[in-house]
Amino acid sequence: MLTYWIRVIRIRFLLASVIAVSTGIAISFFNGISINPIYAALTMAGVISLHASVDLLNDYTDFKREIDTSTTRTKMSGGTGVLPEELLKPESVRRAGIAFLIIGAAIGSFFIITNGIIIALLLGFAVVSIYFYSTRIVDLGLGEIFVAIKGTCIVLGTFFIQSNYLSINAIIAGVTVGVLSSLVLFVTSFPDYSADKHKGRKNLVIIAGKKNASKIYWIFPVLAYSLIISGVIFRVFPVSVLITLLTVPLAIKSGILLNKNYDDHTNIVPAMEKTLLFSRITGALLVLGFIIGMVYN
């Protein structure tokens, strides 16, 4: 039973939120702020709860809309398969999603009391968008935008909780993390193209078409690297964050694989796996870059 819940929560995708929170903490450290470890732990717990909530509710909604039963599942797409395989009850998954949403909101409410209106705005956006993500947001074709904003907000919220102010380096780093997360959602949408389109869902792949969307891929890593390099040029990032450029070959490899196999349900899997790896390693190196920058400043 526990393995089914781990599967439906999509543990490996939670790493995106871990990296986002870690980025906010690393920037706080770089900016000379004394880190409150209790606040940091609570932030991590709250963000992971909200992330788990959106994934659980998405699995439930996709099952109810028969999206997950209309597509061929891969390791990276097509849902978790837990509900189509009847390993858990749909209502149990929905209730768990709501429970995680409440937990995340409760932790966020604590920070509203300690840090004020900025956290209230970020939390309000998170709760409303999570609840409507699997219906309104994705039906309007705003999924990739939501994920990018979500990543940005996590970094900004984490930084604000530690510092009680917003900084330009937190904003730029937040957008960078958001873009990297959005790229993963974008690429994993390719195999579900037919099922999503048939059931009325929209995303960037459906709007642009598979062939055109495969070319759009390059915008994401170029934008992420441009933000990082700009941060260094304008001296709001330490030079050490350029360590992220080590993932350029992986980004290129992922893009080439996607362009070759965008319409091949089987051979596109390595492209999705390498894109996920690129996103996570680049995010982790960004965190490391800020820490190195502080240590050797």
DSSP string, 2-17: HHHHHHHHTGGGGHHH
User: What was the pLDDT predicted at 1?
Assistant: 74
Whether 4 is in a domain gets the answer: no
Residues 165, 30 contacting (CB under 8 angstroms): no
**How far is Cα 188 from Cα 273, in angstroms, rounded to an integer?**
9
Whether 7 is in a domain gets the answer: no
**How far is Cα 86 from Cα 64, in angstroms, rounded to an integer?**
13
CATH value at residue 216? 1.10.600
User: What was the pLDDT predicted at 51?
Assistant: 94
Whether 3 is in a domain gets the answer: no
Whether 275 is in a domain gets the answer: yes
User: What was the pLDDT predicted at 45?
Assistant: 97
**Which residues neighbour 214 within 8 Å (Cβ) at sequence distance 6 or greater?**
190, 258, 259, 262
Q: Which of 256, 270, 269 is nearest to 215 (CA)?
A: 256
Residues 197, 166 contacting (CB under 8 angstroms): no
| E-strand stretches of the chain | none
| E-strand stretches of 136-252 | none
Q: Where in the sequence is the domain holding 183, given as residue range(s)?
A: 14-24+34-295
User: What was the pLDDT predicted at 134?
Assistant: 74
* Low-confidence residues of the chain: pLDDT under 50: none
Whether 262 is in a domain gets the answer: yes
User: What was the pLDDT predicted at 150?
Assistant: 92
Percent residues over pLDDT 70 in the chain: 100
Whether 160 is in a domain gets the answer: yes
Whether 6 is in a domain gets the answer: no
Whether 19 is in a domain gets the answer: yes
User: What was the pLDDT predicted at 107?
Assistant: 97
User: What was the pLDDT predicted at 283?
Assistant: 98
**How far is Cα 58 from Cα 252, in angstroms, rounded to an integer?**
30
Q: What is the total count of domains within the chain?
A: 1
